[in-house]
Amino acid sequence: MKRTPLVLVLVLAFFPAATLAQKPAATLAQKASEPEQNPRTTQAYCMLIQEKVKLQAELESLVSEYSSDWPKSKRVQFELDTLKSEMKKMAEVEESKVIKLTAGYGSLVLRRIVLATDAHVLLEEEGQEWPTFKQKQRELELLDKEIQKLMR
């Protein structure tokens, strides 16, 4: 008979602790099933960070070896500036659209940056009547439309 109250006391003492210990696990499971809400933690944004680091290192190397006026330095600087602009836009994406910032979307944005850089360099070197510039410009316009469709 004396064991029953002791067992009852022990069960009541440990039961609330066991219940409390399970609540955080349930909360973590719920959070894991929810979509990411911060654009800066998405695959697309991380791809842009990787490219930014690569371009910054390349630019530092070019400027130290040559100068900031060297054509390749100017190209990399333009590409880096365009990338930073895209990162800013991506960081400001609406919460409901964050789930769309996938690796595929990141690849499209990186391609857009390269096309914008190519078009800029061709415009500077050859002018807007150059056929290759027109082709790059058109490709950029079409890619922009496709990216906008994805984010609707």
Segment 18-42 mean pLDDT = 61
Least confident of 11-20, 42-51, 77-86, 105-114: 11-20
Asked whether 110 and 56 are in contact (CB, 8 A), the reply is no
**At residue 19, does pLDDT exceed 70?**
no
Tokens standing for 53? 């680091």
> 109 to each of 38, 91, 92, 94, 103, how far by Cα in Å?
18, 13, 15, 17, 10
Confidence class for position 18, pLDDT limits 50, 70, 90: very low
Tokens standing for 79? 């590409």
Distance CA 148, CA 152 (A): 7
> 45 to each of 108, 124, 146, how far by Cα in Å?
12, 29, 18
State residue 37's pLDDT score: 85
Question: What is the CB neighbour count within 10 angstroms for residue 93?
Answer: 18
> What are the phi and psi torsion angles at 93 (to 5°)?
-65, 145
Domain co-membership, 25 together with 45:
no
CA-based diameter of the chain, in Å? 100
Closest CA to 106 of 31, 57, 48: 48
Domain co-membership, 60 together with 103:
yes
* pTM of structure: 0.76
Domain co-membership, 20 together with 72:
no
Closest CA to 147 of 93, 78, 77, 84: 93
Domain co-membership, 15 together with 45:
no
Domain co-membership, 74 together with 6:
no
Tokens standing for 120? 């800029």
Structural domain of residue 46, as residue ranges? 39-150
Domain co-membership, 101 together with 77:
yes
> What are the phi and psi torsion angles at 130 (to 5°)?
-65, 130
Domain co-membership, 22 together with 72:
no
Domain co-membership, 61 together with 130:
yes
**At residue 120, does pLDDT exceed 80?**
yes
pLDDT tens column, 54-90: 999 999 999 999 999 999 999 999 999 999 999 999 9
CA contacts within 13 A on the Cβ side of 65: 10
Domain co-membership, 1 together with 28:
yes
Confidence class for position 36, pLDDT limits 50, 70, 90: very low
Domain co-membership, 58 together with 24:
no
Number of domains in the chain: 2
